[in-house]
Chain A
Amino acid sequence: MPERPESLRRARPLLGTFTDIRIIDAGSACPQSAIEAAFMAMKSIDEALSFHRPDSELSRLNAHPGSWQPMGRHGLRLLKLAQILGRHSDDGFNVTVGGELVAAGALPRHVSHTFIPMGNWQDIELKPGHARLRRPVLITLDGIAKGYAVDLAIASLKRHGVQGASVNAGGDLRVFGETAIRIVLRHDNGLALGNDNGLVLRNDNGVALGNEKGISQVLWLKNAAIASSRHGGKEDARFASRIITGNAMPESAQLHSVIAPFAWRADALTKIAASGNEAKLLRLGGRRADRRADRRADQSLLKV
Protein backbone atom coordinates (compact mmCIF):
# COMPACT_ATOMS: atom_id res chain seq x y z
CA MET A 1 0.00 0.00 0.00
CA PRO A 2 1.88 3.10 -1.13
CA GLU A 3 1.83 6.02 1.26
CA ARG A 4 0.99 9.45 0.05
CA PRO A 5 4.42 11.03 0.31
CA GLU A 6 3.13 14.27 1.80
CA SER A 7 1.37 12.59 4.70
CA LEU A 8 2.90 10.17 7.13
CA ARG A 9 2.27 9.27 10.73
CA ARG A 10 4.33 7.11 13.07
CA ALA A 11 4.30 6.28 16.77
CA ARG A 12 6.95 4.87 19.07
CA PRO A 13 7.38 4.34 22.80
CA LEU A 14 9.79 7.06 23.97
CA LEU A 15 10.19 9.37 26.99
CA GLY A 16 8.19 6.91 29.09
CA THR A 17 5.12 7.41 26.94
CA PHE A 18 3.81 7.11 23.40
CA THR A 19 5.18 9.61 20.94
CA ASP A 20 3.40 10.38 17.69
CA ILE A 21 4.83 12.28 14.73
CA ARG A 22 2.66 13.25 11.83
CA ILE A 23 3.91 14.94 8.70
CA ILE A 24 1.12 16.92 7.11
CA ASP A 25 3.16 18.69 4.44
CA ALA A 26 6.53 17.12 3.70
CA GLY A 27 7.75 20.12 1.70
CA SER A 28 11.17 19.30 0.29
CA ALA A 29 11.89 16.59 2.87
CA CYS A 30 12.04 12.86 2.53
CA PRO A 31 9.29 12.18 5.08
CA GLN A 32 10.68 8.83 6.25
CA SER A 33 14.14 10.14 7.06
CA ALA A 34 12.73 13.35 8.55
CA ILE A 35 10.53 11.33 10.91
CA GLU A 36 13.40 9.05 11.82
CA ALA A 37 15.63 12.01 12.69
CA ALA A 38 12.87 13.59 14.76
CA PHE A 39 12.40 10.40 16.78
CA MET A 40 16.17 10.27 17.30
CA ALA A 41 16.14 13.85 18.61
CA MET A 42 13.52 12.89 21.20
CA LYS A 43 15.41 9.74 22.10
CA SER A 44 18.56 11.77 22.82
CA ILE A 45 16.65 13.79 25.44
CA ASP A 46 15.28 10.59 26.94
CA GLU A 47 18.78 9.14 27.28
CA ALA A 48 20.53 12.25 28.57
CA LEU A 49 17.96 13.75 30.90
CA SER A 50 15.73 11.01 32.25
CA PHE A 51 15.47 10.79 36.02
CA HIS A 52 14.56 7.14 35.59
CA ARG A 53 17.83 6.16 33.95
CA PRO A 54 20.62 5.79 36.52
CA ASP A 55 23.23 6.43 33.79
CA SER A 56 21.80 9.70 32.44
CA GLU A 57 23.64 13.04 32.65
CA LEU A 58 20.89 14.21 34.96
CA SER A 59 21.32 11.26 37.32
CA ARG A 60 25.06 11.94 37.43
CA LEU A 61 24.38 15.55 38.39
CA ASN A 62 21.97 14.42 41.12
CA ALA A 63 24.48 11.92 42.44
CA HIS A 64 27.22 14.54 42.92
CA PRO A 65 25.86 17.63 44.66
CA GLY A 66 28.41 20.40 45.15
CA SER A 67 30.66 19.41 42.27
CA TRP A 68 30.66 20.56 38.67
CA GLN A 69 29.37 17.85 36.37
CA PRO A 70 29.60 17.81 32.57
CA MET A 71 26.29 18.65 30.97
CA GLY A 72 25.37 18.60 27.30
CA ARG A 73 23.88 21.43 25.30
CA HIS A 74 20.27 20.38 25.83
CA GLY A 75 20.70 19.68 29.53
CA LEU A 76 22.21 23.14 30.02
CA ARG A 77 19.45 24.78 28.01
CA LEU A 78 16.73 22.98 29.97
CA LEU A 79 18.29 23.78 33.33
CA LYS A 80 18.59 27.42 32.25
CA LEU A 81 14.92 27.51 31.24
CA ALA A 82 13.96 25.84 34.52
CA GLN A 83 15.98 28.44 36.45
CA ILE A 84 14.31 31.33 34.64
CA LEU A 85 10.82 29.92 35.09
CA GLY A 86 11.56 29.16 38.74
CA ARG A 87 12.74 32.73 39.30
CA HIS A 88 9.75 34.31 37.57
CA SER A 89 7.20 32.05 39.22
CA ASP A 90 8.66 32.25 42.75
CA ASP A 91 9.42 28.54 42.44
CA GLY A 92 5.86 27.79 41.37
CA PHE A 93 7.64 25.88 38.67
CA ASN A 94 10.32 23.98 40.51
CA VAL A 95 12.57 21.23 39.17
CA THR A 96 14.22 20.60 42.54
CA VAL A 97 11.29 18.58 43.90
CA GLY A 98 12.89 15.24 42.96
CA GLY A 99 13.64 14.47 46.61
CA GLU A 100 10.03 14.74 47.62
CA LEU A 101 8.94 12.57 44.70
CA VAL A 102 11.56 9.94 45.51
CA ALA A 103 10.49 9.94 49.16
CA ALA A 104 6.89 9.46 48.03
CA GLY A 105 7.93 6.56 45.82
CA ALA A 106 6.88 8.39 42.67
CA LEU A 107 10.43 8.41 41.30
CA PRO A 108 13.19 5.81 41.66
CA ARG A 109 16.02 6.32 44.12
CA HIS A 110 19.44 6.19 42.48
CA VAL A 111 21.52 8.16 45.00
CA SER A 112 22.95 6.89 48.27
CA HIS A 113 23.45 10.27 49.95
CA THR A 114 20.91 12.15 52.05
CA PHE A 115 18.97 14.66 50.00
CA ILE A 116 16.62 17.50 50.82
CA PRO A 117 13.04 17.08 49.61
CA MET A 118 12.76 20.38 47.78
CA GLY A 119 15.00 23.30 46.97
CA ASN A 120 14.66 26.36 44.79
CA TRP A 121 15.91 27.69 41.47
CA GLN A 122 19.03 29.09 43.13
CA ASP A 123 20.23 25.57 43.86
CA ILE A 124 21.17 25.21 40.18
CA GLU A 125 24.46 26.69 39.03
CA LEU A 126 25.55 26.70 35.41
CA LYS A 127 28.73 27.40 33.46
CA PRO A 128 29.65 26.44 29.90
CA GLY A 129 29.49 22.69 29.54
CA HIS A 130 28.84 22.08 33.24
CA ALA A 131 26.19 22.22 35.94
CA ARG A 132 26.43 22.08 39.72
CA LEU A 133 23.95 21.65 42.54
CA ARG A 134 24.55 24.08 45.37
CA ARG A 135 22.74 21.85 47.85
CA PRO A 136 21.88 18.12 47.76
CA VAL A 137 18.59 18.50 45.94
CA LEU A 138 17.39 16.07 43.30
CA ILE A 139 16.52 17.63 39.96
CA THR A 140 13.73 16.13 37.91
CA LEU A 141 13.07 17.53 34.46
CA ASP A 142 9.93 15.44 33.96
CA GLY A 143 7.85 18.61 34.04
CA ILE A 144 9.57 20.26 31.09
CA ALA A 145 11.76 17.79 29.18
CA LYS A 146 8.99 16.08 27.20
CA GLY A 147 7.86 19.44 25.90
CA TYR A 148 11.44 20.38 25.11
CA ALA A 149 11.91 17.09 23.25
CA VAL A 150 8.82 17.90 21.19
CA ASP A 151 10.34 21.29 20.29
CA LEU A 152 13.58 19.59 19.27
CA ALA A 153 11.68 17.15 17.09
CA ILE A 154 9.83 20.03 15.43
CA ALA A 155 13.13 21.87 14.83
CA SER A 156 14.58 18.71 13.31
CA LEU A 157 11.60 18.29 10.97
CA LYS A 158 11.93 21.91 9.85
CA ARG A 159 15.65 21.47 9.19
CA HIS A 160 14.78 18.55 6.92
CA GLY A 161 12.51 20.83 4.90
CA VAL A 162 9.16 19.68 6.29
CA GLN A 163 6.51 22.40 5.90
CA GLY A 164 3.84 21.14 8.27
CA ALA A 165 3.82 18.55 11.05
CA SER A 166 2.70 17.71 14.54
CA VAL A 167 4.62 15.99 17.32
CA ASN A 168 2.90 14.59 20.39
CA ALA A 169 4.75 13.13 23.36
CA GLY A 170 2.13 11.81 25.73
CA GLY A 171 -0.08 14.87 25.51
CA ASP A 172 2.64 17.50 25.18
CA LEU A 173 2.25 18.43 21.58
CA ARG A 174 3.05 21.06 19.03
CA VAL A 175 1.99 21.69 15.47
CA PHE A 176 3.46 23.93 12.79
CA GLY A 177 2.57 24.83 9.24
CA GLU A 178 -0.54 25.97 7.45
CA THR A 179 -2.82 23.28 8.81
CA ALA A 180 -4.68 23.23 12.09
CA ILE A 181 -4.94 19.87 13.79
CA ARG A 182 -7.65 18.54 16.02
CA ILE A 183 -6.90 17.90 19.67
CA VAL A 184 -9.04 15.85 22.00
CA LEU A 185 -8.55 16.31 25.71
CA ARG A 186 -8.46 13.21 27.85
CA HIS A 187 -9.90 13.50 31.34
CA ASP A 188 -9.77 10.85 34.00
CA ASN A 189 -13.10 9.44 32.92
CA GLY A 190 -12.10 9.17 29.29
CA LEU A 191 -11.84 11.25 26.18
CA ALA A 192 -13.74 14.49 26.19
CA LEU A 193 -15.85 13.96 23.13
CA GLY A 194 -19.22 15.05 24.33
CA ASN A 195 -19.24 18.49 22.80
CA ASP A 196 -22.93 19.13 22.35
CA ASN A 197 -22.48 22.46 20.73
CA GLY A 198 -20.56 22.78 17.54
CA LEU A 199 -19.76 26.46 17.56
CA VAL A 200 -16.14 26.99 18.34
CA LEU A 201 -14.58 30.21 19.50
CA ARG A 202 -11.25 30.99 18.03
CA ASN A 203 -8.51 33.47 18.71
CA ASP A 204 -6.45 35.32 16.12
CA ASN A 205 -4.03 32.46 15.73
CA GLY A 206 -6.86 30.18 14.78
CA VAL A 207 -6.77 28.36 18.06
CA ALA A 208 -10.22 27.20 18.98
CA LEU A 209 -10.88 27.87 22.58
CA GLY A 210 -14.13 26.22 23.34
CA ASN A 211 -17.73 26.16 22.33
CA GLU A 212 -20.18 28.84 23.23
CA LYS A 213 -20.93 27.24 26.55
CA GLY A 214 -17.32 27.94 27.35
CA ILE A 215 -16.49 24.27 27.50
CA SER A 216 -13.55 23.30 25.45
CA GLN A 217 -13.65 19.68 24.47
CA VAL A 218 -12.18 19.45 21.02
CA LEU A 219 -9.64 22.04 20.08
CA TRP A 220 -8.07 23.06 16.83
CA LEU A 221 -4.49 24.08 17.12
CA LYS A 222 -2.28 25.84 14.61
CA ASN A 223 1.34 26.93 15.01
CA ALA A 224 1.19 26.48 18.75
CA ALA A 225 1.77 23.96 21.50
CA ILE A 226 -0.51 22.45 24.10
CA ALA A 227 0.32 20.38 27.15
CA SER A 228 -1.84 18.73 29.77
CA SER A 229 -1.16 17.51 33.27
CA ARG A 230 -3.28 15.60 35.69
CA HIS A 231 -3.40 16.87 39.24
CA GLY A 232 -4.89 15.13 42.25
CA GLY A 233 -7.27 12.22 42.34
CA LYS A 234 -6.44 8.62 43.04
CA GLU A 235 -3.09 7.29 41.95
CA ASP A 236 -3.25 5.63 38.60
CA ALA A 237 -0.37 3.52 37.31
CA ARG A 238 -1.22 4.48 33.76
CA PHE A 239 -0.61 8.14 34.53
CA ALA A 240 2.39 8.10 36.80
CA SER A 241 3.16 11.80 37.10
CA ARG A 242 2.52 13.90 40.14
CA ILE A 243 2.46 17.63 40.72
CA ILE A 244 3.40 19.33 43.96
CA THR A 245 1.83 22.75 44.38
CA GLY A 246 2.22 23.37 48.07
CA ASN A 247 -1.56 23.16 48.47
CA ALA A 248 -3.51 20.04 49.36
CA MET A 249 -3.97 17.65 46.46
CA PRO A 250 -7.49 17.83 45.03
CA GLU A 251 -9.55 14.76 45.81
CA SER A 252 -10.76 14.24 42.29
CA ALA A 253 -8.38 14.44 39.38
CA GLN A 254 -8.21 17.71 37.47
CA LEU A 255 -6.85 18.20 34.01
CA HIS A 256 -4.82 21.31 33.36
CA SER A 257 -4.22 22.07 29.70
CA VAL A 258 -2.10 25.00 28.68
CA ILE A 259 -1.48 26.56 25.27
CA ALA A 260 1.83 28.32 24.59
CA PRO A 261 4.04 29.05 21.60
CA PHE A 262 6.51 26.30 22.49
CA ALA A 263 5.96 22.86 23.94
CA TRP A 264 8.56 23.21 26.71
CA ARG A 265 6.73 26.23 27.99
CA ALA A 266 3.27 24.70 27.73
CA ASP A 267 4.58 21.61 29.52
CA ALA A 268 6.17 23.60 32.35
CA LEU A 269 3.22 25.94 32.73
CA THR A 270 0.72 23.15 33.36
CA LYS A 271 2.26 23.08 36.85
CA ILE A 272 1.52 26.79 37.29
CA ALA A 273 -2.02 26.15 36.03
CA ALA A 274 -2.39 23.36 38.60
CA SER A 275 -1.51 25.80 41.36
CA GLY A 276 -4.47 27.90 40.27
CA ASN A 277 -2.58 31.13 39.70
CA GLU A 278 -3.98 32.24 36.38
CA ALA A 279 -2.40 35.70 36.41
CA LYS A 280 1.01 34.13 36.80
CA LEU A 281 0.24 31.67 34.03
CA LEU A 282 -0.58 34.50 31.64
CA ARG A 283 2.45 36.50 32.65
CA LEU A 284 4.68 33.52 31.93
CA GLY A 285 3.31 33.18 28.43
CA GLY A 286 0.71 30.44 28.65
CA ARG A 287 -3.03 30.29 28.88
CA ARG A 288 -5.49 27.67 29.87
CA ALA A 289 -6.83 25.78 26.88
CA ASP A 290 -10.35 26.25 28.20
CA ARG A 291 -10.19 30.06 28.29
CA ARG A 292 -10.48 32.61 25.56
CA ALA A 293 -7.27 34.30 24.59
CA ASP A 294 -6.55 37.55 26.29
CA ARG A 295 -4.77 39.76 23.80
CA ARG A 296 -3.31 42.05 26.39
CA ALA A 297 -1.77 39.07 28.11
CA ASP A 298 -0.38 37.84 24.82
CA GLN A 299 1.38 41.12 24.24
CA SER A 300 3.05 41.14 27.61
CA LEU A 301 4.53 37.68 27.25
CA LEU A 302 7.62 37.19 29.28
CA LYS A 303 10.52 36.86 26.89
CA VAL A 304 12.51 33.78 27.79
Chain B
Amino acid sequence: MSESLFNNSLWFIPMALVAAPAIATDYLSIPQAQQLLFAQANQFSERPTLLSDDARDAIKSRAGTRQRQSNQPIWRAEKDGEFLGWFIVDDVIGKHEYITYATAISPTGEVLGIEVLSYRETHGGEVREQSWRANFKGKTLKDPFKLDEDVPNISGATLSCRNLLDGVKRLLTIHELYLTKDA
Protein backbone atom coordinates (compact mmCIF):
# COMPACT_ATOMS: atom_id res chain seq x y z
CA MET B 1 0.00 0.00 0.00
CA SER B 2 2.86 2.30 0.71
CA GLU B 3 4.35 1.87 -2.72
CA SER B 4 1.16 2.72 -4.55
CA LEU B 5 1.36 6.29 -3.36
CA PHE B 6 4.69 6.77 -5.00
CA ASN B 7 3.76 4.94 -8.15
CA ASN B 8 0.77 7.13 -8.64
CA SER B 9 1.48 9.12 -11.76
CA LEU B 10 0.35 12.32 -10.05
CA TRP B 11 3.40 12.10 -7.91
CA PHE B 12 5.56 12.98 -10.87
CA ILE B 13 3.69 16.06 -11.95
CA PRO B 14 6.34 18.76 -12.01
CA MET B 15 5.61 21.41 -9.40
CA ALA B 16 2.33 22.52 -10.92
CA LEU B 17 0.58 25.35 -9.16
CA VAL B 18 -2.94 24.24 -8.48
CA ALA B 19 -5.61 26.25 -6.75
CA ALA B 20 -7.30 23.10 -5.61
CA PRO B 21 -9.57 22.60 -2.65
CA ALA B 22 -7.27 21.53 0.10
CA ILE B 23 -9.84 19.57 2.06
CA ALA B 24 -12.85 18.08 0.33
CA THR B 25 -15.07 15.63 2.17
CA ASP B 26 -18.16 14.12 0.62
CA TYR B 27 -20.39 12.80 3.34
CA LEU B 28 -23.61 11.90 1.61
CA SER B 29 -25.12 11.87 -1.86
CA ILE B 30 -28.55 13.46 -2.24
CA PRO B 31 -30.38 10.08 -2.32
CA GLN B 32 -28.45 8.91 0.76
CA ALA B 33 -29.37 12.08 2.65
CA GLN B 34 -33.00 11.74 1.56
CA GLN B 35 -33.12 8.24 2.92
CA LEU B 36 -31.45 9.26 6.15
CA LEU B 37 -33.67 12.26 6.83
CA PHE B 38 -36.91 10.65 5.66
CA ALA B 39 -36.37 6.98 6.43
CA GLN B 40 -40.07 6.21 5.89
CA ALA B 41 -40.42 7.87 2.53
CA ASN B 42 -40.67 5.83 -0.65
CA GLN B 43 -41.01 8.70 -3.07
CA PHE B 44 -39.16 11.97 -3.53
CA SER B 45 -40.55 14.21 -6.23
CA GLU B 46 -38.45 17.13 -7.27
CA ARG B 47 -40.28 20.38 -7.15
CA PRO B 48 -38.18 22.81 -9.15
CA THR B 49 -38.51 26.19 -7.49
CA LEU B 50 -37.53 29.30 -9.35
CA LEU B 51 -37.51 32.34 -7.13
CA SER B 52 -38.11 35.70 -8.78
CA ASP B 53 -36.19 38.81 -7.76
CA ASP B 54 -39.21 39.92 -5.75
CA ALA B 55 -39.38 36.57 -4.01
CA ARG B 56 -35.69 36.73 -3.17
CA ASP B 57 -36.14 40.22 -1.74
CA ALA B 58 -39.05 38.99 0.34
CA ILE B 59 -36.95 36.11 1.67
CA LYS B 60 -34.10 38.42 2.55
CA SER B 61 -36.27 40.89 4.41
CA ARG B 62 -37.96 38.10 6.37
CA ALA B 63 -34.98 35.84 7.05
CA GLY B 64 -32.26 38.46 7.34
CA THR B 65 -29.89 36.68 4.99
CA ARG B 66 -29.57 36.98 1.24
CA GLN B 67 -31.11 34.36 -1.00
CA ARG B 68 -28.21 33.84 -3.38
CA GLN B 69 -29.64 31.36 -5.79
CA SER B 70 -32.82 31.74 -7.77
CA ASN B 71 -33.15 28.02 -8.28
CA GLN B 72 -33.54 26.21 -4.99
CA PRO B 73 -33.48 22.40 -5.18
CA ILE B 74 -36.52 21.14 -3.28
CA TRP B 75 -38.05 17.66 -3.05
CA ARG B 76 -41.39 16.56 -1.69
CA ALA B 77 -41.09 13.43 0.47
CA GLU B 78 -43.99 11.00 0.48
CA LYS B 79 -44.85 7.57 1.75
CA ASP B 80 -47.52 5.86 -0.35
CA GLY B 81 -48.93 9.23 -1.27
CA GLU B 82 -48.87 10.57 2.27
CA PHE B 83 -47.00 13.87 2.52
CA LEU B 84 -44.09 13.68 5.01
CA GLY B 85 -42.26 16.94 4.43
CA TRP B 86 -39.75 18.81 2.31
CA PHE B 87 -36.15 18.00 1.56
CA ILE B 88 -34.11 21.05 0.57
CA VAL B 89 -30.50 21.24 -0.56
CA ASP B 90 -28.60 24.45 0.08
CA ASP B 91 -25.07 25.87 0.15
CA VAL B 92 -23.15 27.96 2.64
CA ILE B 93 -20.24 29.94 1.30
CA GLY B 94 -17.68 31.25 3.76
CA LYS B 95 -14.32 32.89 3.36
CA HIS B 96 -12.59 29.61 2.56
CA GLU B 97 -15.42 27.15 3.09
CA TYR B 98 -18.05 25.83 0.77
CA ILE B 99 -20.58 23.61 2.46
CA THR B 100 -23.51 21.82 0.89
CA TYR B 101 -26.14 20.58 3.29
CA ALA B 102 -29.65 19.19 3.29
CA THR B 103 -32.49 20.11 5.60
CA ALA B 104 -35.68 18.15 6.20
CA ILE B 105 -38.69 20.32 7.04
CA SER B 106 -41.97 18.90 8.33
CA PRO B 107 -45.32 19.89 6.78
CA THR B 108 -45.82 22.25 9.73
CA GLY B 109 -42.47 23.95 9.26
CA GLU B 110 -40.29 22.24 11.84
CA VAL B 111 -36.72 21.25 11.15
CA LEU B 112 -36.60 17.46 11.23
CA GLY B 113 -32.87 17.17 10.62
CA ILE B 114 -29.80 18.66 9.01
CA GLU B 115 -27.04 16.70 7.30
CA VAL B 116 -23.86 18.06 5.75
CA LEU B 117 -23.50 16.61 2.25
CA SER B 118 -20.09 17.95 1.42
CA TYR B 119 -17.48 20.20 2.93
CA ARG B 120 -14.80 22.00 0.95
CA GLU B 121 -12.16 24.19 2.48
CA THR B 122 -9.50 25.85 0.40
CA HIS B 123 -6.09 26.84 1.50
CA GLY B 124 -5.59 30.51 2.15
CA GLY B 125 -3.56 30.78 -1.02
CA GLU B 126 -2.68 28.46 -3.81
CA VAL B 127 -1.67 24.98 -2.86
CA ARG B 128 1.32 23.39 -4.42
CA GLU B 129 0.22 19.96 -5.42
CA GLN B 130 3.75 18.72 -5.04
CA SER B 131 4.13 19.74 -1.45
CA TRP B 132 0.68 18.47 -0.58
CA ARG B 133 1.68 15.09 -1.92
CA ALA B 134 4.89 15.30 0.02
CA ASN B 135 2.85 15.00 3.16
CA PHE B 136 2.23 11.38 2.33
CA LYS B 137 5.88 10.63 2.07
CA GLY B 138 6.92 10.21 5.67
CA LYS B 139 3.91 8.17 6.60
CA THR B 140 4.75 5.26 4.38
CA LEU B 141 8.17 4.47 5.77
CA LYS B 142 7.80 1.35 7.90
CA ASP B 143 4.50 2.28 9.35
CA PRO B 144 3.89 0.42 12.57
CA PHE B 145 0.16 0.83 12.24
CA LYS B 146 -2.56 1.25 9.68
CA LEU B 147 -2.98 4.70 8.25
CA ASP B 148 -6.31 6.04 7.31
CA GLU B 149 -6.24 7.36 3.77
CA ASP B 150 -9.43 9.29 4.20
CA VAL B 151 -9.67 13.07 3.89
CA PRO B 152 -7.85 14.61 6.86
CA ASN B 153 -9.56 16.13 9.83
CA ILE B 154 -8.97 19.79 10.48
CA SER B 155 -7.87 21.09 13.83
CA GLY B 156 -7.77 24.83 14.18
CA ALA B 157 -9.79 27.64 15.64
CA THR B 158 -13.37 26.49 15.99
CA LEU B 159 -15.29 27.41 12.86
CA SER B 160 -18.66 28.86 13.71
CA CYS B 161 -21.67 27.16 12.13
CA ARG B 162 -23.73 30.32 12.31
CA ASN B 163 -23.73 30.67 8.51
CA LEU B 164 -25.35 27.30 8.18
CA LEU B 165 -27.95 28.01 10.85
CA ASP B 166 -28.76 31.30 9.10
CA GLY B 167 -29.18 29.24 5.95
CA VAL B 168 -31.66 26.94 7.67
CA LYS B 169 -33.61 29.97 8.86
CA ARG B 170 -33.75 31.14 5.25
CA LEU B 171 -35.06 27.74 4.14
CA LEU B 172 -37.77 27.92 6.81
CA THR B 173 -38.75 31.30 5.37
CA ILE B 174 -38.97 29.81 1.89
CA HIS B 175 -41.18 27.11 3.35
CA GLU B 176 -43.40 29.63 5.11
CA LEU B 177 -43.76 31.89 2.09
CA TYR B 178 -43.93 29.47 -0.79
CA LEU B 179 -44.35 25.88 0.26
CA THR B 180 -47.15 25.83 2.82
CA LYS B 181 -49.92 26.28 0.30
CA ASP B 182 -48.50 23.62 -2.01
CA ALA B 183 -48.39 20.97 0.63
Contact = CB atoms under 8 A, between A and B. Distances in A.
Interface of A: 1, 3, 7, 9-14, 16-18, 20, 22, 24, 32, 146, 166, 168-173, 178-191, 193-200, 206, 208, 211, 217-218, 220, 222, 226-230, 236-241, 253, 255, 257, 289
Contacts of B47: none
Contact of B22 (A173, A189, A193, A230): A193
B145 A180 contact: yes
A13 B156 contact: no
B27 A9 contact: yes
Interface of B: 22-23, 25, 27-29, 31-32, 36, 94-96, 99, 101, 114-116, 119, 121-125, 127-128, 131-132, 134-139, 141, 144-148, 150, 152-162, 164-165
A206 B144 contact: yes
Contact of B153 (A178, A182, A237, A238): A182
B121 A191 contact: yes
A264 to B, nearest CB: 15
A170 B153 contact: no
A193 B135 contact: yes
A13 B114 contact: yes
Secondary structure type dominating chain A contacts: strand
9 contacts: A1-B31, A11-B27, A11-B119, A12-B116, A18-B119, A180-B148, A184-B152, A198-B137, A211-B138
Contacts of B27: 9-11
A144 to B, nearest CB: 13
Nearest to B101: A13
B116 to A, nearest CB: 4
Nearest to A255: B156
Contacts of B116: 10-13, 18
A178 B137 CA distance: 20
Contacts of B25: 9, 11, 20
A183 B152 contact: yes
A166 B156 contact: no
Nearest to A267: B158
A20 B153 contact: yes
Nearest to A21: B27
